[in-house]
Amino acid sequence: MERILTRWLDIADLRRLEVYEANGGYGALRKALFEMAPEQIINEVKNSNLRGRGGAPFPSSARRFFCFRVRFSSRFSRSF
């Protein structure tokens, strides 16, 4: 059986940044920042079926989608 939560416990000095990165740390962040469009990131979160930790099982993707729409809507954009 694959260990999911404890698979990193046997790696020495994992708290050091270079060791963490050498073991795949920040790989998903790099992919999201440099290889994916914002819409692709939203679709990835939707497909994961993540749920919030509040009282209602509100999908995390819906919350991020609302923030994305507000941030990039022309109504709230500033002109300099």
Q: How many residues are recorded in the chain? A: 80
Cα 31 to Cα 73: distance, rounded to the nearest angstrom: 25
Residue 24, exposed/middle/buried by CB under 10 A (0-12, 13-18, 19+)?
Answer: exposed
Cα 48 to Cα 42: distance, rounded to the nearest angstrom: 10
Determine the pLDDT at residue 4.
Answer: 84
7 phi, psi to nearest 5 deg: -65, -20
- Write out the two tokens for 27: 């790989």
- Write out the two tokens for 4: 């999911």
Per-residue pLDDT reduced to its tens digit, 15-66: 999 999 999 999 999 999 999 998 898 888 888 877 767 666 666 666 666 6
Per-residue pLDDT reduced to its tens digit, 11-29: 999 899 999 999 999 999 9
Is pTM beyond 0.85? Reply is no
